[in-house]
């Protein structure tokens, strides 16, 4: 009985510290870009798939994203405004950025343009 309880605690502990690294995101799916609320792929996460070239629905991460991993084979233009307006940041295919600050793009992105759809093949 004691042994079982300890195993349960160990499981819960290992699950709670589980985070998705850019490499893992890349392995998981190649049809999306993932944004995180904070630097270094921390905080709230939003996956944006290339179902269409334009994605304008960053939800709670609108003007909040601070890092990204582009798992797709498409270059992606990130825009500071809705519907491809404002200034841009280009995310190369299969790339990631742990901090948008040095790109002048912290807490900025509102819309996303996939240059190549479908984007999950090289």
Smallest distance from the beta carbon of 106 to Ca ion, in angstroms?
A: 6
Non-local CB neighbours of 35 within 8 Å, separated by 6+ positions: 45, 46, 48, 58, 61, 65, 67, 68, 109
Smallest distance from the beta carbon of 31 to Ca ion, in angstroms?
A: 23
Q: What are the CA-CA distances from residue 58 to residues 8, 40, 49, 80 (Å)? A: 36, 19, 11, 12
The pattern of x and - marking residues 101 through 120 that bind Ca ion according to CB under 5 A reads: -xx---xx-x----------
Smallest distance from the beta carbon of 58 to Ca ion, in angstroms?
A: 10
Minimal CB distance to Ca ion: which residue? 66
Distance from the first to the final alpha carbon of the chain: 52
- Part of the chain binding Ca ion (CB under 5 A), chosen from 2-10, 11-19, 68-76, 94-102: 94-102
Whether omega before 118 lies within 30 degrees of 0, making that bond cis, reads yes
Can you tell me which of 34, 41, 72, 97 binds Ca ion, judged by CB under 5 A? Answer: 97
**What residues numbered 1-60 form the site for Ca ion, per CB under 5 A?**
none
């Amino acid at each position: 009985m004691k042994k079982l309880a300890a195993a349960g605690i160990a499981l819960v502990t290992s699950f709670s510290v589980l985070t998705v690294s850019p490499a893992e995101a890349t392995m998981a799916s190649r049809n999306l870009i993932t944004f995180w609320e904070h630097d270094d792929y921390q905080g709230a996460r939003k996956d944006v798939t290339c179902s269409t070239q334009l994605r304008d629905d960053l939800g709670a991460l609108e003007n909040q994203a601070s890092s990204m991993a582009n798992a797709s084979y498409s270059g992606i233009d990130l825009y500071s405004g809705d519907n491809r307006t404002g200034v841009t940041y280009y995310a190369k295919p299969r790339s990631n950025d742990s901090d948008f600050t040095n790109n002048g793009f912290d807490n900025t992105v509102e819309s996303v343009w996939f240059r190549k759809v479908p984007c999950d093949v090289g």
